[in-house]
Amino acid sequence: MKTIKKLMAILLIITSFSVNAQDQPFKVEVIGKGEPILLFPGFTCTGDVWNDTVTELSQDYQCHVFTFAGFGDVPSIQKPWLPKIKEGILSYIAEKQLKNPIVIGHSLGGALALWMATESNSYKKLIIVDALSSTGALMMPNFNSEYMVYDSPYNKQLLEMNTTDFEAMALQMVTGMTKDTSKQEIIKDWMLQADRETYVYGYTDLLKLDLREDLSKIKVPVTILAATEPYGYDTVKATYETQYKELDEYDIKFAEGSAHFIMYDQPLWFMDNLLNSLPK
């Protein structure tokens, strides 16, 4: 009888662990030792987007590389997706007792880093890679975040889109994200692998996020690495100045001729500027 009770207790623990693991809003791979750095990928990307970066940084830092729920092989979670990601990261930082981590975020990951810093100054440095304070404002004139809802005709169309059409859309999109054709294939595969509801509703969460006014609350150092393509230097410079005008102080560097995935288009420029942006 005691043996049966022990087995039942073990089974209960295993079952509880499995459920909790399924509910986690991300997967984290920890590589290296030293001062902690959190690395957030962009939308649909896995932590593999940081592979070359981590190879360099892990020599001197402890890299916490995230892949968010619904992307790669990480199980999806119920919406609201992005708020749950943020709250999960804050819990992770507390549980791991990571003091004043550096945060590096690309695209969605950069917006997420900014959002976290508007609520707390407990970060040593933010390095934002081609990310804006309001993606929705870039895409829509007279943008109002209240108009971003899950139940929309566009979202319905995406949810019902067949695999062939979705792949064709993804292929068209990635051609503007990097000039490296081999990397285009990788990014496309990440998009196709993503959970469809996460793709649709998670992107709605991103569009809804408008941090333009809240940037004034950020008191930690910020460096922005910005791509100039496909809009060109003058347009991109004006866009960043407008979107970041409420941020008291920041350093921005432009990767001229690079598309959205700077780490792929200009890896040497990217690594050099990233390393130079880290606190001394």
Residue 28, burial from CB neighbour count under 10 angstroms (0-12, 13-18, 19+): middle
pLDDT(18) > 80: no
In a domain, 142, yes or no: yes
In a domain, 196, yes or no: yes
Q: How many domains does the chain have?
A: 1
Instruction: Kindly state the average pLDDT of the residues 33-44.
Output: 98
Supply the CATH number for residue 71's domain: 3.40.50.1820
Query: Which helix or strand (DSSP H or E) is residue 208 part of?
Result: helix 196-208
In a domain, 90, yes or no: yes
pLDDT tens-place string over residues 153-192:
999 999 999 999 999 999 999 999 999 999 999 999 999 9
Query: What is the crossing angle of helices 163-174 and 181-193, to 10°?
Result: 140
In a domain, 34, yes or no: yes
Instruction: Kindly state the average pLDDT of the residues 8-31.
Output: 54
Length of the chain: 280
Cα–Cα dist 208/202, whole Å: 10
pLDDT tens-place string over residues 41-80:
999 999 999 999 999 999 999 999 999 999 999 999 999 9
In a domain, 11, yes or no: no
Parent domain of 94:
26-277
In a domain, 76, yes or no: yes
A 10 A CB-CB count for 35 gives 17
pLDDT tens-place string over residues 76-113:
999 999 999 999 999 999 999 999 999 999 999 999 99
pLDDT(9) > 70: no
pLDDT(3) > 80: no
Residue with tokens 């100054």: 121
In a domain, 122, yes or no: yes
In a domain, 189, yes or no: yes
Cα–Cα dist 132/238, whole Å: 12
Phi/psi of residue 133, each to 5°?
A: -80, -20
Give the residues across from 38 on adjacent strands.
64, 103
Cα–Cα dist 198/176, whole Å: 22
Give the E-state strand segments of the chain in sequence order.
Answer: 26-31, 35-40, 61-68, 102-106, 125-129, 222-227, 251-255
Cα–Cα dist 222/210, whole Å: 18
